[in-house]
């Protein structure tokens, strides 16, 4: 019992540390990446004992600034809901990572430890449940601020996130029909198979159109450009316009955590997750019969590193898109979701079902 509890606590701390650490790094990456794209230096003024470290010190200076700023609740606002809203948004965003597998199984002291905080046979449903509940945080932020602009931002956020979550769910049905499970760990293991003896059976190979639809819908879920209508960074309509101090910091972190979550889901569902091509439990098995033996711990570390690199790449890609595309108008955003993405995801289901029927 003690071993199991210790293992769960260790996995929880590891996942939280990785997510929050990458969240902090993304605040710097966004500034530096936009600066490189716009041919300027970016954040580089903050320093510790004269050391600027390419602007990395801004991560700590931002945190200090948010901790020591005044915590403001607008007159007429609901203090309890105003405080609860960012906590709700942050909590459910972090909870979604509980079912993301970061490896297969670690054997330690004769015990098998699944490298997943919460092994669940309906992991995809759990993720969608958590992201759906996170909508309450954005809506309550708007309604508790006693500000018509914040209220408008909250309405935009809730309607946008509900609209695009339907498309996100529909795009995954084709993938679930192929793998036949809702368990993210089992989906990862299934992607370790090879097609024609050399091509990894990753979700993007089996569902390329579904991957594109999921990527677009996932970007809308993060509420960032070109889908940042709820926040309105260049205008005063955001649902957190009446927030300051660490309450604003919680919403700021939630945006980046949701970006990491979408990157992790893309990597897990469509790019093999922790799978490394040709890597099995005892080492690499290359086409042609070549074999490179590896120890158990080396295999586990390679799997975790593979997932980390894939997540980091898709975080970079999402930031790249964020600084490349212009914002939709709100009517364009809703029309795009309901009149193009949703019908396209339903078409993908029918095409997948037809192909599977032919291959039976």
The pLDDT of residue 236: 63
Query: What angle, 0 to 180 degrees and rounded to 10, lies between the N-to-C axes of helices 245-270 and 208-221?
Result: 180
pLDDT at position 180 is 94
First-to-last alpha carbon distance for the chain, in angstroms, is 45
Judged against a pLDDT cut of 90, whether residue 328 lies above it is answered with: no
With a cut of 90, say whether residue 143 has pLDDT above it: yes
Q: Global pTM?
A: 0.96
**Is the CB of residue 304 less than 8 Å from the CB of residue 115?**
yes
The model's pLDDT over 163-178, given as tens digits with 9 standing for 90+, comes to: 999 999 999 999 999 9
Q: Give per-residue pLDDT as tens, 57-116.
A: 999 999 999 999 999 999 999 999 999 999 999 999 999 999 999 999 999 988 999 999
The DSSP result for 38-107, as a single string, is TTS--S----BTTB-GGGTHHHHHHHHHHHHS-----TTS-HHHHHHHHHHHHHHHHHGGGG--SSSEEE
Residue 357 pLDDT grade (very low, low, confident, very high; cuts 50, 70, 90): very high
CA-closest candidate to residue 174, choices 311, 360, 355: 355
255-306 per-position pLDDT tens digit: 999 999 999 999 999 999 999 999 999 999 998 889 999 999 999 999 999 9
Strand partners of residue 107:
112
Higher pLDDT, 212 or 229: 212
Residue-range domain boundaries for the chain: 2-359
Average pLDDT over residues 229-252: 86
| pLDDT computed for residue 52 by the predictor | 87
Beta bridge partners of 280: 283
* pLDDT for position 288: 82
Q: What share of the chain is helix, strand, coil (3-state, %, to 5)?
A: 65, 5, 30
Residue 149 has pLDDT above 80, yes or no: yes
What is the reported pLDDT for 249? 94
**DSSP E strand stretches across the chain:** 105-108, 111-114, 194-195, 199-200, 279-280, 283-285, 291-293
Q: Provide the mean pLDDT of the chain.
A: 93
The CA-based angle 45-242-163, given to 5 degrees, is 100
- Pair 45, 210: CB distance under 8 Å: no
């Amino acid at each position: 019992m003690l071993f199991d509890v210790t293992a769960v606590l260790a996995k929880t701390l590891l996942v939280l540390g990785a997510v929050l650490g990458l969240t902090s790094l993304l605040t710097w990456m966004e500034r530096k990446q936009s600066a490189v794209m716009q041919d300027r230096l970016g954040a580089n003024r903050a320093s510790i004992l004269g050391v600027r470290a390419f602007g990395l010190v801004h991560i700590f200076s931002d945190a200090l600034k948010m901790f020591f700023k005044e915590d403001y609740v607008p007159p007429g606002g609901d203090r309890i809901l105003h405080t609860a809203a960012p906590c709700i948004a942050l909590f459910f965003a972090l909870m979604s990572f509980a079912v993301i597998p970061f490896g297969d199984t670690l054997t330690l002291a004769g015990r098998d430890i699944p490298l997943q905080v919460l092994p669940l046979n309906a992991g995809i449903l759990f993720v969608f449940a958590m992201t759906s509940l996170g909508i309450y945080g954005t809506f309550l932020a708007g309604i508790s601020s006693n500000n018509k602009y914040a209220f408008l931002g909250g309405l935009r956020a809730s309607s946008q996130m509900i609209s695009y979550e339907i498309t996100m769910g529909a795009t995954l049905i084709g993938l679930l029909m192929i793998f036949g499970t809702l368990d993210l760990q089992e989906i990862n293991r299934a992607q370790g198979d090879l097609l024609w003896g050399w091509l990894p059976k990753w979700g993007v190979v089996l569902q390329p159109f579904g991957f594109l639809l999921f990527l677009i819908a996932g970007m809308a879920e993060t509420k960032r450009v070109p889908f940042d209508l709820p926040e309105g960074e260049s205008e005063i309509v955001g649902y957190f316009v009446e927030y300051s101090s660490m309450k604003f910091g919680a919403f700021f972190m939630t945006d980046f955590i949701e970006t990491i979550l979408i990157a992790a889901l893309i990597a897990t569902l469509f790019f093999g997750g922790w799978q490394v091509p040709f890597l099995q439990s005892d080492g690499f098995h290359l086409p042609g019969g070549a074999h490179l033996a590896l120890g158990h711990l080396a295999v586990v570390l390679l799997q975790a590193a593979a997932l980390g690199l894939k997540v980091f790449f898709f975080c970079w890609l999402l930031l790249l898109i964020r600084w490349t595309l212009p914002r939709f108008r709100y009517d364009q955003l809703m029309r795009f979701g309901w009149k193009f993405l949703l019908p396209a995801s339903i078409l993908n289901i029918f095409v997948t079902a037809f192909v599977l029927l032919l291959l039976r």
